Structure 1
Amino acid sequence: MSFNVVKQLLSPEQLGVLRARLAAGPWVDGRVTAGAEATRVKNNLQLQIGSPSHKELSDVVKGALHASEAFKAIALPRRMSDIVFSRYEVGMEYGLHTDDAYRALDSLRCDVAVTVFLSDLESYEGGALVVGDSAVRLAAGDAIVYPATSIHRVSTVTRGTRQAAVFWVQSLVRDDGKREILYTLQSVIARVGNPALSLALARVQQNLLRMWVE
């Protein structure tokens, strides 16, 4: 299963702000935002959407996303959903599920899913995001970006508390394979030392965008 990692999306200072405010909540049952199928397998908490804390912390995460060239190159965002701040305590998990194609709350088609890890790896055990055959646990501040079409789960937390920021992206390019081609081209262009070759590849990339952007 294809996914990409954005290292240090959040700075230590941003993580400090998020953790301090998240400690105070308010936390509610995570099933309030789950789709019809996912409700049966979701067992976690989430910061109440619409609360003052939620708005403040969402602005912190969105600011980091807008500043991240890596995230924008991978996801090609047109629009993003509300940020969902999740919390898993010991015994909590999120069973196998697939994300809804459309979020009515945000009037958003879900092409890309993103999880930003907020807890230090040493502070909890379990709680891996399992996408396909890959079990992913990242350092605090790192993000995983993967197709929203993926079947995935969060494994049971066995020690400590796992916190994350989760959201969905409606991409300029809805097809997963086409986005991967564009990101690969972008990565190659960044490493090519030959100006003429770099220009030729950039032309290909931009022409593909003209064909594929919606």
Structure 2
Amino acid sequence: MLVVLENVLSKTEVAQIRSSLESADWADGRSSAGSLSVKVKQNQQLPENSALGEELANTILRRLGSHPQFISAALPHRIYPPKFNRYGTGGHYGIHVDAAVMGLPRSDMTLRSDISATLFLSSPESYEGGELVIEGEFGAQQVKLNAGDLVLYPSSSLHQVLPVSQGVRICSFFWIQSMVRDTAERALLYDLDQSIQVLSQGVKAGDGGVSISKHLESDHALVRMTGVYHNLLRRWSQV
């Protein structure tokens, strides 16, 4: 399941983060790559112990914690603190797959990477190339979003960042261990929850021409659908 969340960060928030990153002390991104990925990775990242990186990561985590669609799509159990990368001219990251299990920074806990996330911080007009290409069951999809938009996709997917031919591409990226491990189950829950949200808005809006009995029927149907959602979540979640 590939999900795009628009305007996770406002234009003001993106501008503030970009301003902070202008004076950042970037390091060679290959320092965090595995034995295979290091051969195909050419970018820069904020170091793991960067105080700036930690501050900006907390800003993003606070925003995600209050974003209903992110919660619905990811059903997060644990989130790897967001990291930041920079692709200048010629920068790229060849085809690779993310590690399945990661140690959380400054913790003795581990995270199983179910979902990978890329939060775009550069406007698409400011750089050429640099598309995120994700291979899925229906073929490869190219993703290049507006600044402040986020894409979620299965960590099991082969993916790559195409070479940047002009400009600078800056993003935040992180991983999520979901309460629901299976991608297909998580997709069903997401679709069901989004339908519930739409129906809920319809019931709240009401209609002066609809009888009380019809409103009660709608309420009861919505309650039953919500019950189905939570019973499926209860069956499939691992917490």
In structure 1, distance between residues paired with 2:40 and 2:180: 30
Aligned Cα root-mean-square deviation (Å): 1.1
Partner of 1:126: 129
Query: Are residue 90 (structure 1) and residue 89 (structure 2) matched?
Result: yes
Matched, 1:108 2:91: no
Query: Which consecutive aligned stretches of 4+ in structure 1 deviate over 4 angstroms post-superposition?
Result: none
Aligned-partner Cα distance in 2 for 1:156–1:140 = 19
Q: Match of 2:231?
A: 207
Instruction: Answer whether contact 1:35 1:99 (CA < 8 A) is retained.
Output: no
Q: CA deviation at 1:48?
A: 1.6
1:197 aligns with 2:231: no
CA offset at residue 198 of structure 1?
Answer: 1.6
Q: TM-score, normalised by structure 1?
A: 0.96
Residues 14 and 60 of structure 1 are in contact (CA less than 8 Å); yes or no, is this contact kept in structure 2? Answer: no
Distance 2:34 2:226 in 1: 40
1:179 matched to 2:182? The reply is no
SS at match of 1:19: helix
**What is the Cα deviation at residue 34 of structure 1?**
2.0
State the number of aligned residues: 213
- Equivalents in 2 of 1:105, 1:39: separation in Å? 21
Question: Under a length normalisation based on structure 2, what TM-score does the superposition of the two structures give?
Answer: 0.86
**Alpha-carbon distance in 2 for matches of 1:179, 1:187:** 12
Determine helix, strand or coil for the equivalent of 1:166: strand
- Cα drift, residue 69 of structure 1: 0.7
Per-residue CA deviations over 1:6-33 (Å, capped at 9, x if unaligned) read 1100111211111011111110011222
Contact persistence 1:92–1:156 (CA under 8 A):
yes
C-alpha contact (below 8 Å) 1:22/1:47 kept by paired residues: no
User: Which residue matches 1:143?
Assistant: 150
> Max radius of gyration: which structure?
2
Amino acid at match of 2:133: V
Which amino acid in 2 is paired with 1:127?
G
Identify unmatched segments of 5+ residues in structure 2: 203-217
Shift of 1:105: 4.3
